[in-house]
Amino acid sequence: MRKNLPKEVSAVKKYSNLELIGKVDGKYLEEVFKYTRDGERRITMSKRRIAGIAVAAVMAVVLGVTAVAACRRGLSTMQGYISDREENHIHLPEGFATVPAEDIGTEIEPEAEEFLPGDARVTGVLMSRDAFYATVELNVSDAGLDDAEYPDYFDGKFNYGKFSMNAVIDGEEEMFGYVGNAPMVSYEDGIMTLVMHFSSSIPDGAEAINVEIGEFGYTSYDNPPDKEHVAVSDKVYSFSVPIDESSIVKPIESVNSAECGGVTFTAAVDNLGLHFYPQGLEPTDENNELISNIVGENEIGIKMKDGTEIRSLYYRQPSILGSGFTGAEEVYFSFETIVDTSQVESLSLGGAVFTFE
Amino acid sequence: MEDERIVGLFFERDGAALDEMQKKYGALLKSVAQKITGSEADAEECLNDALMNLWEAIPPARPQSLRAYSCRTVRNIALRRLTYNLADKRSANSSEPLDELEAVIADKGAELRFDDADFRLMLEGFLDGLSRESRVVFMKRYFFTDSVGDIAKDLCISESKVKSLLFRARRKLRKTVYREESE
């Protein structure tokens, strides 16, 4: 029995046992090398989240929300929409607009006098500590896209491309985000509007984010269940988004605390996600498991001032919720779309309700 | 120099193989060793020992991934160095990651009865069942003994997320170990 061994001998036995970890196949080590900064870092959007955003784009057109026009005015307007899956079928109200980039202090590239074929421009950016969301316009009028195929493109299929994000730190570039696709919100007269959204922390000290996006194609499902990538353009577009502290959205804290599962929480919300903060718990394995179970067993809800309410069980039917993490120090989930925090009345975790001023 | 050419130098018994290994992977291998031993001097010795081990092993070994093979070699040497230091109280290095993992697979009265091959199969099955991100975090913590802070920084995720991923992975590993043991 290990616990009865003298301390020094038990240490020897412990480490010799754990040498076994080192015997795993080299492919697992290679994966680490490729995944981290020595190779490529991949931020994977869940397919459901992509579908949710693409469907949101469809709804924006169906309900007449002028996403394209809004983008051209420098606003990022996304219709919040819960995808039509099983029980969660709630539409946020029309005109559910995001906070314009200029109102949160994000400096974006000044609009060029001319927006030429091959140019890209950022029309709205929101960043929090843990998520990044931007709408981008690309002038692809020289990419050979056939307007007649527009309905197919807009159906969320036209979503394959190179998409990397590099943080500029002390003048050097460091890739911190890579998404395999950026769903298209709209396409009109050679101008494609895309959404870039992922949950990842902006590296500390980043002065700007340089983005490369392009090499578009789409996924063809003409021969189900097989799918085929069809390349359309080999062009790559690049642009830069300067960052300063004022451009990072800060969470708004709840005015109250509340109890769920025997634990007291406070809450906070920002445009890109929600936070629950367990109170008085050390980050031990047991407490992490406790919080993970509480979150898994209780619905997470967001209620707007107009009465609209959305509830989601993260582990069953992700809808408003994208990726996140749970632990004894913080529960965080990013939203699938942008939320106007000024319109948020409350968050809830099971029966615990957290209100905001 | 490409790995294939370096392996070729080993096969030709050309000492330049070690120079090229030092040049290409020296910093990585030393880093792996230093995280375990906690000492730069010990890490240097481990690196030298690892290079000698590689010289003796290749040929006949022809590793598919020279980087992974050499990391594994230096890691084992570093672990043995650590146990030597601990046995003689030469090191105060506590090696948190190894303690965390030991707590997961430590028995509650029953000894683990795996042999190396069984444990490897079980562990690889467990790793295959993790998401890619979880698997990378797990390997960085328990193979490379990276700190939580370093993992968070390397992967640009929060430390809370790293801890959460590790916690869930360890929980799953524990279930895997006890399920295998009871079969």
Task: Tell me the ipTM for this assembly.
Answer: 0.80
Provide, rounded to the nearest whole percent, the portion of chain B with pLDDT above 70: 80
User: Which residues of chain B are within 8 Å of residue A178 when distances are taken between CB atoms?
Assistant: none
The answer to whether residue B98 neighbours chain A at the CB level (below 8 Å) is yes
How many other CB atoms are found less than 10 A from the CB of residue B11? 12
> Is the pLDDT confidence value at A7 over 60?
no
Of residues B78 and A128, more confidence is placed in: B78
B79–A22 C-beta distance less than 8 A: yes
Output the CA angle A135-A81-A218, nearest 5 degrees: 55
Segment A248-259 mean pLDDT = 88
- DSSP code at position A20: G
One domain for residues B123 and B64: no
Inter-chain touch B102–A14, beta carbons under 8 Å? yes
Find the mean pLDDT for residues A264-291: 89
Q: Which residue has the tokens 């240097």?
A: B44
Chain B residues with beta carbon closer than 8 angstroms to that of A29: 65, 67-68, 71-72, 139, 143
Size of interface A-B (CB pairs under 8 A): 153
Per the CB < 8 A criterion, the answer to whether B177 and B138 are in contact is no
Measure A116 CA to nearest chain B CA, in Å. Answer: 34
Nearest-by-CA chain B residue for A200:
B157
- The whole-angstrom distance between B4's CA and the closest CA on chain A is 16
Question: B114 and B77 in one domain?
Answer: no
Res. B81 pLDDT band, cuts 50 70 90: confident
- Of B24, B55, B87, the residue at which a domain comes to its end is B87
B156 and B100 part of one domain: yes
B119 in Cβ contact with B180 (< 8 Å): no
Instruction: Measure the CA–CA gap between A219 and A233, rounded to whole angstroms.
Output: 14
Averaged pLDDT for residues A132-142: 71
Q: Is B68 on the interface with A (CB under 8 A)?
A: yes
Q: Assess whether B10 and B83 both reside in one domain.
A: yes
Encode pLDDT of B114-154 as tens digits.
566 777 888 888 898 888 888 999 999 888 888 888 888 88
Q: Is B160 within 8 Å of A327 when comparing Cβ atoms?
A: yes
Same domain, B59 and B127: no
> Is the pLDDT higher at A176 or at B106?
A176
The residues, ordered by sequence, that sit 6+ positions from B134 with a Cβ below 8 Å of its Cβ are: B165, B168, B169
Tens of pLDDT, residues A51-85: 333 333 333 333 222 233 222 222 222 222 222 22
Residues 6+ apart with CB under 8 A from A307: none
Residue that is last in its domain, among B87, B114, B145: B87
More confident call, A68 vs A144: A144
Kindly list the residues from chain A whose CB atom is less than 8 angstroms away from the CB atom of residue B164: 288, 292, 325-327
Cβ pair A35:B111 closer than 8 A: no
The CATH number of residue B45's host domain is: 1.10.1740.10
Cβ–Cβ gap A24/B120 under 8 Å:
yes
Confidence class for position A87, pLDDT limits 50, 70, 90: very low
- Band of pLDDT at residue A336, cut at 50, 70 and 90: low
* A12 closest CA partner among B50, B115, B53, B81: B81
**pLDDT at residue A213, rounded to an integer:** 67
Band the pLDDT of A346: cuts 50, 70, 90: very high
Helix axes B159-182, B116-128, angle to 10 degrees: 130
Indicate yes or no: CB of A22 within 8 angstroms of CB of B143. Answer: yes
**pLDDT tier for residue A281 given thresholds of 50, 70 and 90:** very high
Q: For residues B117 and B155, state if they share a domain.
A: yes
Give one DSSP letter per residue of A22-86, joined into a string.
Answer: GGS-HHHHHHHHHHSTTS----PPPHHHHHHHHHHHHHHHHTT--HHHHHHTT------B--SBT
Asked if residue B79 and residue B50 are part of one domain, the reply reads yes
Higher model confidence: residue A330 or residue A188?
A330
Section A335-356 average pLDDT? 84
User: Hey, are the CB atoms on A21 and B142 less than 8 Å from each other?
Assistant: yes
The domain tally of chain B equals 2
Q: How far from chain centre, in Å, is Cα A118?
A: 26
The pLDDT of residue A236 is above 60: yes
pTM over 0.90, yes/no: no
Q: What is the sign, positive or negative, of the torsion defined by CA atoms of A263, A264, A270, A271? A: positive
Q: State how far residue B12 is from chain A, nearest Cα, in angstroms.
A: 24
CA angle A262, B170, B141 (to 5 degrees): 120
Contact flag A21-B101 (C-beta cutoff 8 Å): yes
Q: Cβ–Cβ contacts within 10 Å for residue A287, how many?
A: 18
- Whether the upstream peptide bond of residue B60 has omega within 30° of 0, thus cis, is yes
For chain A, say whether B136 makes contact (Cβ under 8 Å).
Answer: yes
For A79-92, b/e burial (b = at least 16 CB within 10 A) is: bbbbbeeeebeebb
Read off the tokens for A291. Answer: 């919080």
Share of chain A above pLDDT 90, in %: 10
By the 8 A CB rule, do A124 and A340 touch?
no
Q: Are residues B51 and B105 in the same domain?
A: no
| A169-173, A191-195, B63-67: least confidently modelled range | A191-195
Report yes or no: A302 and A270 within 8 Å, Cβ to Cβ: no
Secondary structure class of A131 (helix, strand, coil): coil
**Closest-approach residue (CA) in chain B for A177:** B156
Cα distances (angstroms) measured from residue B183 to each of A115, B162, B171: 67, 32, 19
What count of residues does chain A have?
357
Cα–Cα distance between B179 and B36 in angstroms, integer?
30
C-alpha R_g of chain A:
23
A332 to B160: CB separation less than 8 angstroms, yes or no? yes
B69 and B147 both lie in a single domain: no
Task: Residue B122: count other Cβ atoms within 10 Å of its Cβ.
Answer: 18
- Dist. CA A35–CA B137, nearest whole Å: 10
Set of chain B residues whose Cβ sits within 8 Å of the Cβ of A23: 72, 116, 119-120, 123
Identify the residue whose tokens are 């209620």: A303
Cα separation, A216 vs A160, whole angstroms: 5
Would the CB atoms of B165 and A37 count as touching at under 8 Å?
A: no
CATH of the domain at B148: 1.10.10.10
Q: Indicate if the pLDDT at residue B60 is higher than 90.
A: no
* Structural tokens at position A68: 């394209």
Of B65, B98, B127, the CB nearest to A15: B98
- Contact between B168 and B134 (Cβ < 8 Å): yes
Same domain? For B148 and B100 the reply is yes
Query: With contacts defined as CB-CB under 8 Å, which chain B residues touch A6?
Result: none
Examine the domain organization and report whether B31 and B78 are in the same domain. yes
How distant is the Cα of B15 from the closest Cα of chain A, in angstroms?
A: 25
Average pLDDT over residues A280-309: 85
CA distance B138 to A32: 10
User: Are residues B77 and B112 both part of a single domain?
Assistant: no
Written as six digits, the tokens of B140 are 């960085």
* B134 close contact with A: CB closer than 8 A: no
Q: Is the pLDDT of residue A271 over 90?
A: no
Residue that is last in its domain, among B52, B87, B122: B87
- Which positions in chain A touch B153 (Cβ < 8 Å)? 203
The full set of domain ranges for chain A reads 47-247, 252-355
B interface test, pick of A1, A5, A8, A18 with most B CB neighbours within 10 Å:
A18
Cα A250 from Cα A265, distance rounded (Å): 19
CA distance B96 to B147: 9
Q: What is the mean pLDDT of residues A100-124?
A: 54
Domain, as residue range, for B29: 3-87
Nearest CA in chain B to A166: B156
